[in-house]
Amino acid sequence: MPTKRKITNLSALISGLSPEDRALAERIFDVSTTTGRLDPPEAMHAWISKSFGSVDRVTAQRIVKVTNRITLEGTLFNELRASRPLDTGVSLDLDREIAATEGDPFCHPEEGTPADVFGRVEGEHATTASNVAKYDGFHGVIVFDDHNPLHLTPEKVAGYVSVGLQWGRKALEADPKARYPFLMWNCLWRAGGSIIHGHAQVTATRGTHYPKVERLRRAASAYKTEHGSDYFSDLNNVHASLGLDIPLEGVRAFASLSPIKEKELVVIGDEPADPSLSRAVGALLEGYVHNLGVRAFNVAFYMPPLGPTQEDWSDFPTVVYIVDRGDPANRTSDMGAMELYAASVVASDPFRVAEALRNGSPDSS
Ligand SMILES: [Zn+2]
């Protein structure tokens, strides 16, 4: 009987790969499985059964620890945590809450927001503004024409990204040292967005890239020196060999085996301005919202610098991360000390995430 494709069977699934695929998977990932046990008093049984389905599910819990040996990103998967009772606070109608802020300053950016020193970039679906309280010397806001950020389509997302990249080139013209761009989207408060109206953000920094981007460049460069092959291609091939890839035109995309938090997707494109990359990101976000019920998410674009630098970026593609930040009605933060300082704890199974985005509907198994 074939091994069921789920994260708790990851070690067995890797063992079942062809020798070449298995060697590559074991080169990049360290996988170990453990069982957490407990002994609940009789008085708790009814509550446990109601909350988690059965007492057996709780008394022996399978936990899979996945560590990316190259980048030292790591995740602990425990499906049981997804059915853990949470304080969901007041129930709220998200659409109503979003609609209630219509007419905010981002609905009329020309009067409601400042421009950058180089003016605004205006596109078909968005206009840029200058962020009032800046992360960095250059910090712009990509203000979407749509108030509701969840009314997204691949075309609109491609428009948002295109405006952000044009903003990066304007910043470089204004300051030739501001070579390192970063593009991000915090959708709704749960993902760190302070304003509901649809918006992404873009920054440009000097000197060296942001430390997490630079750390990935160094890890990939060391990998190439040691193994003589491209880290990003190998990473994608490991995910594809296990069936975690999501086929999309012009990019490589997969549900990550070492997600930073729930349902993390990685999209690798040749270069940031390639429209098939931003459209693929838009298609995945559409699947996120419609197939997986995600409402709050982060998107981050890791891009090479726009001008010549001392570091070698020649092998660095554009890497886009997409992650679910949980239910906006939930008052418990999705990240605590474990995620900030040790390893990520994740409930969603990447095999289910890939299936839901590939088939267009979530798998309930
Ligand atoms: Zn608005």
Q: What is the pLDDT of residues 185-234, one digit of tens each?
A: 999 999 999 999 999 999 999 999 999 999 999 999 999 999 999 999 99
CA of 101 to the centre of ligand 1 (A): 6
CA of 171 to the centre of ligand 1 (A): 26
**pLDDT for position 83:** 67
195 and 53 in a common domain: no
In a domain, 365, yes or no: no
Asked whether the beta carbons of 253 and 246 are under 8 A apart, the reply is yes
Q: Of all helices (H) and strands (E), which one includes residue 299?
A: strand 297-302
Question: Which pTM does this prediction carry?
Answer: 0.95
CA of 306 to the centre of ligand 1 (A): 32
DSSP class per residue in 153-185: -HHHHHHHHHHHHHHHHHHHHH-TT--EEEEEE
Q: Give the chain's domain count.
A: 2
% of the chain at pLDDT higher than 70: 95
In a domain, 97, yes or no: yes
Residue 92 pLDDT more than 90?
no
CA of 133 to the centre of ligand 1 (A): 19
143 and 35 in a common domain: no
**pLDDT for position 359:** 78
CA of 102 to the centre of ligand 1 (A): 5
In a domain, 55, yes or no: yes
CATH of the domain at 278: 3.30.428.10
Q: Mean pLDDT of all residues in the chain? A: 94
CA of 193 to the centre of ligand 1 (A): 13
- Residue 13's domain comprises 7-82
CA of 145 to the centre of ligand 1 (A): 8
121 and 69 in a common domain: no
**pLDDT for position 115:** 98
In a domain, 154, yes or no: yes
Q: Which of 232, 237, 233, 243 is nearest to 13 (CA)?
A: 243
CA of 188 to the centre of ligand 1 (A): 13
142 and 266 in a common domain: yes
61 and 194 in a common domain: no
**pLDDT for position 79:** 81
132 and 281 in a common domain: yes
DSSP class per residue in 202-223: EEEESSS--HHHHHHHHHHHHH
